[in-house]
Amino acid sequence: GQQLNQSPQSMFIQEGEDVSMNCTSSSIFNTWLWYKQEPGEGPVLLIALYKAGELTSNGRLTAQFGITRKDSFLNISASIPSDVGIYFCAGPQGGSEKLVFGKGTKLTVNP
Amino acid sequence: SAVISQKPSRDICQRGTSLTIQCQVDSQVTMMFWYRQQPGQSLTLIATANQGSEATYESGFVIDKFPISRPNLTFSTLTVSNMSPEDSSIYLCSVGGQGSNQPQHFGDGTRLSIL
């Protein structure tokens, strides 16, 4: 099946720094989704991308849908302690509604 | 987006027993899904819960181990049967995903530990 390769696995940064993480696949995706999961909670949708080349922002978060449709990145600017969590990329498998997830990027922000 | 409630939020169970997890949505939805998240891992789709018909299971998951019910458009249950320590995971339901621009949203999950 389709797989998503997410990197980096973890990041340790200082408050105020910018963060960048990405997701790649050997297969084409028509949708890219970015979720954040905090301890004790389910994943929360941050940004949804539906068009190749699309660049979408949500506050300090910006995500882009790669032109090749095989990658996406998520940037967080001026990180704050509440950005701590695990960030997952996801996309629908083979045109279905079923999602495949990346392995996640665990973000730690030091005050 | 829909409000999704899962019960129980967590449980500790004995080996060999079964537990049924409930997922309630505050509006009618066509698509409901069940995922497993093993400790420190990503999410893996168990099955799609189909209203009025049998669930559609992904490779590696079978109905005898994870029976699913979907009696209506707002409710579904997942049973984890004959549990072993390897079943210790977070089980999450999600809704949505049908049609264009309707991404899935998740409940807060059920944290299951098997002794």
Give the pLDDT score at B53.
85
Provide the shortest C-alpha distance from residue B97 to chain A (in Å): 5
The H or E element spanning position A56 is strand A55-58
Q: Kindly list the residues from chain B whose CB atom is less than 8 angstroms away from the CB atom of residue A99.
A: 33, 43, 45, 94, 97, 104
Q: What is the largest CA-CA distance in chain B?
A: 43
> What is the rounded CA–CA span in Å between residue B89 and residue B79?
13
CB distance from B72 to chain A under 8 Å? no
Nearest to A62 by CA among A77, A41, A52: A77
> What is the rounded CA–CA span in Å between residue B36 and residue B110?
10
B31, B48, B108 member nearest A42 (Cβ): B108
Using a pLDDT cut of 90, give the percent of chain A over it: 89
Structure tokens at A18: 């910018």
CB distance from A91 to chain B under 8 Å? no
CB contact under 8 A, A41 and B43: no
CB contact under 8 A, B42 and A42: no
pLDDT tens digits, A29-82: 999 999 999 999 999 999 999 999 999 999 999 999 999 999 999 999 999 999
Give the pLDDT score at A29.
92
Residues in chain B with pLDDT < 70? 97-101
CB distance from A70 to chain B under 8 Å? no
